[in-house]
């Protein structure tokens, strides 16, 4: 097994383990201020269970309103306290779901990822909490392993995949626009965008992508060359290709028919 084929199979196995035990797997994402903001405030975290379809959403806005505070009128101190309570609820939820898989999108580093959540929680005075590496499944990385680097438009692979697979994105806000929405404290819009990534009318992007990878039905921009390389060579691709499979199934019958036709022609050609 070559290295490309090995990575592909390992990625498929990793996603299959999570998708086949859906009740013990979540799709996770969060929304926060832009990278260049003086303070990288996290405003909402959402987790959808792959089995039940139930989404748990932890939000600053809800924490503020529980305490009778209008988001637009909240002081920085009140925002910090609400964010801290949001993190406390989220990590309590994580502790209640030990040994569960967490499917995510590029949440790998301290700028945007699990370390960013952990560091922010500590900065707000919370206790250190984490999700073990062995239960994190990075869909963005696994897609490259399975389909090659050209599987979607690199400027926004998640949106590109959604368009290719006809997944609705009525509320999704990207990049700088999302940051501007949060800066004017429209936390509800940020949360709607977050939920569109993992849970909106059961057509959430990350959930659908994960299931389609598991079912081998995901549509991508990968070229034939990419698919053959990822599959481990032309022989394996031909073996797995539906046309080749159909031909292989039909081959014995075709051989019999051709033999009969040859015999018929020989018989009728006799003097």
Correct CATH for 3-223 of 2.120.10, 1.20.5, 3.40.1130, 3.30.420: 3.30.420
Task: Write out the two tokens for 117.
Answer: 């959540």
The rounded distance, in Å, linking the Cα atoms of 186 and 198 is 20
SS3 of residue 28 by DSSP: strand
Mean per-residue pLDDT for 50-78? 87
Write the pLDDT tens digit of every residue in 253-269. 555 545 555 555 554 55
- With H, G, I as helix, E, B as strand and everything else as coil, classify residue 133: helix
Q: Which residue has the tokens 């939000």?
A: 59
pLDDT tens readout for residues 123-155 = 999 988 889 999 999 999 999 999 998 899 888
The torsion defined by the Cα of 203, 219, 135 and 55, in degrees rounded to 10, comes to 0
As beta bridge partners, residue 86 has: none
Residue 179 phi, psi (nearest 5): -60, -40
**What are the residue ranges spanned by the domains of the chain?**
3-223, 241-268
- Residue 151 tokens read as 């599987």
């Amino acid at each position: 097994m070559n290295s490309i084929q090995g990575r592909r199979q390992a990625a498929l196995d990793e996603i299959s383990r999570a998708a086949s035990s859906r009740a013990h797997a979540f799709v996770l994402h969060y929304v926060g201020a832009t990278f260049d903001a003086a303070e990288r405030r996290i405003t909402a975290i959402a987790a959808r269970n792959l089995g039940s379809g139930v989404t748990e959403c932890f939000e600053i806005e809800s924490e503020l309103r529980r305490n009778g505070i209008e988001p637009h009128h909240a002081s920085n101190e009140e925002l910090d306290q609400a964010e801290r309570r949001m993190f406390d609820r989220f990590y309590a939820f994580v502790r209640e779901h030990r040994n569960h898989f967490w499917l995510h999108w590029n949440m790998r580093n301290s700028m945007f990822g699990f370390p960013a959540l952990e560091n922010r929680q500590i900065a707000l005075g919370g206790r250190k909490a984490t999700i073990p590496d062995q239960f994190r499944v990075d869909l963005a990385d696994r897609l490259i392993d399975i389909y090659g680097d050209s599987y979607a438009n690199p400027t926004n692979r998640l949106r590109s995949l959604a368009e290719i697979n006809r997944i609705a994105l009525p509320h999704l806000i990207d990049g700088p626009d999302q940051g501007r929405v949060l800066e004017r404290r429209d936390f509800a819009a940020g949360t709607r965008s977050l939920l569109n990534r993992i849970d909106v009318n059961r057509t959430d992007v990350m959930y659908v992508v994960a299931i389609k990878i598991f079912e081998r039905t995901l549509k991508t921009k990968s070229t034939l060359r990419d698919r053959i390389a990822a599959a481990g060579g032309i022989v394996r691709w031909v073996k797995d290709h539906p046309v080749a499979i159909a031909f292989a199934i039909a081959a014995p019958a075709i051989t019999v028919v051709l033999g009969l036709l040859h015999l018929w022609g020989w018989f009728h050609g006799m003097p």
